[in-house]
Amino acid sequence: MERRIVTILGIPFSKWGMQETVRYLTAAVSARKPHQVITANPVMVMAALEDPSYKKMMQQAELIVPDGTGVVWASRIGGDPVTERVAGYDLLHELMKQGELHRWKVYLLGASPEVVEKTASRLKELYPGTEIVGYRDGYFTAEQDEEVVDEIRKTSPDLLFVARGADTQEPWIAKYKQRLGVPVVMGVGGSFDVISGKTKRAPKLFQKLRLEWLYRLIKEPTRFRRMLALPRFAVRVLRERGNLTKSR
Ligand code: UDP
């Protein structure tokens, strides 16, 4: 499949919509070569601008999909629009669905022990044809990394979903993706919290009005500081609109 990329403030985003993304990742599972999928939003783009090692890590991911309305908007401003928003949460479900056709094996890593356990049983209910070969919580130290990686390797999954904070999950995946040997590894942030029922996704109305971020802010006011990245992102995009989508 031909790659279609738009670079936004130095971060190469895939222009594919959901369907093409799933098709590409299905091919990646067959090819058995490690693919790190990052579902990136404006907060992550801003983090990359401020931290060169985070930026380099992102640039080395095999696929970055446009999560977040802000990224979709920026691609339009840059004159090279992505097809649509590809939300990590939706992509997880699409891949689980696809897994039923191909009998994929899935490992879940992250969140608290109760949340990941509930997530596993809920996903089994929803997608009985996709096998959950293992799961474990995301609260472990760097010293335990090796043990965690070995545990995952033993189950030889086709997909690995990692649900830790964005600042840790993506660098962790980048560091271990070769050793893990899993074809598709994707950071899914707070998705297990939603699947398990611990937190709720924004009501449909908020989703429709593209105000999911506002809903999350109301529910978790501690996100406020991080959300300041959004207006900074917008200012940066508008200021650099002329050469926004140049690779650098
Ligand atoms: N989490 C984890 N290990 C950690 C920190 C967080 O497994 O060391 C989990 C947490 O339980 C939640 C998910 O990562 O399920 C996302 O956490 P948070 O909402 O804080 O992530 P952010 O939105 O900051 O990326």
Which has the closest alpha carbon to 132: 115, 148, 109, 163? 109
Nearest CA to 100 out of 134, 132, 128 is that of 128
Ligand 1 atom, smallest distance to 192 CA: 15
Query: Which ligand 1 atom is the nearest neighbour of the CA of 164?
Result: 14
The residue whose CA has the least distance to atom 23 of ligand 1 is: 165
Residue nearest to atom 24 of ligand 1 (CA): 165
Mutation to probe ligand 1, out of 164, 201, 215 (largest number of atoms < 8 A from CB): 164
Look-up of token digits 């339009």: 76
Whose CA is closest to 212, among 229, 234, 193, 227?
227
Whether 224 shows a pLDDT value over 80: the answer reads no
Say whether pLDDT at 7 is over 90: yes
Q: Return the pLDDT at 71.
A: 96
Q: Where are the domains of the chain?
A: 13-238
Atom of ligand 1 nearest to the CA of 139: 3
**Closest ligand 1 atom to 226 CA:** 24
Ligand 1 neighbours, Cβ below 6 Å, are 110-112, 138-139, 163-166, 189-190, 192-193
How many angstroms separate the CA atoms of 101 and 23, rounded? 13
Q: Is the pLDDT of residue 84 over 70?
A: yes
Characterize the bridge pairing of strands 63-66 and 11-14.
Answer: unpaired
Q: Classify domain 13-238 at the CATH superfamily level.
A: PrpR receptor domain-like (3.40.50.10660)
Amino acid identity for residue 117 in this structure: E
Nearest CA to ligand 1 atom 16: 190
Counting residues of the chain whose pLDDT is more than 90, the rounded percentage is 80
The answer on pLDDT for 207 being more than 90 is no
DSSP 88-154: HHHHHHHHHHHHHHHT-EEEEEES-HHHHHHHHHHHHHH-TTSEEEEEE-S---GGGHHHHHHHHHH
Q: Whose CA is nearest to atom 20 of ligand 1?
A: 165
pLDDT of residue 123: 98
Straight-line distance from the first to the last Cα atom of the chain, in angstroms, rounded to the nearest whole number: 24
Q: How far is the CA of 3 from the centre of ligand 1 (A)?
A: 31
pTM of the predicted model, to two decimals? 0.93
What pLDDT, on the 0 to 100 scale, is given for residue 247?
Answer: 57
Measured by CA distance, the residue closest to atom 19 of ligand 1 is 190
Residue with CA closest to ligand 1 atom 15: 111
Mean pLDDT of 159-186: 96
Q: Considering the chain, what is the average pLDDT of its residues?
A: 93
Average pLDDT over residues 198-209: 85
pLDDT digits (tens, 9 = 90+) for 88-135: 999 999 999 999 999 999 999 999 999 999 999 999 999 999 999 999
Handedness of CA 30, 157, 95, 127 (dihedral sign): positive
Query: Which residue shows structure tokens 């074809």?
Result: 183
Residue pair 227/219 in contact (Cβ under 8 Å)? The answer is: no
Q: Is the pLDDT of residue 248 over 80?
A: no
**CA 161 to ligand 1 centroid distance, Å:** 13
pLDDT at 163: 97
Cα distance between residue 157 and residue 183, in whole Å: 8
Orientation angle between helical segments 166-180 and 145-155, nearest 10 degrees: 60
In the predicted structure, residue 149 carries a pLDDT above the cut 70: yes
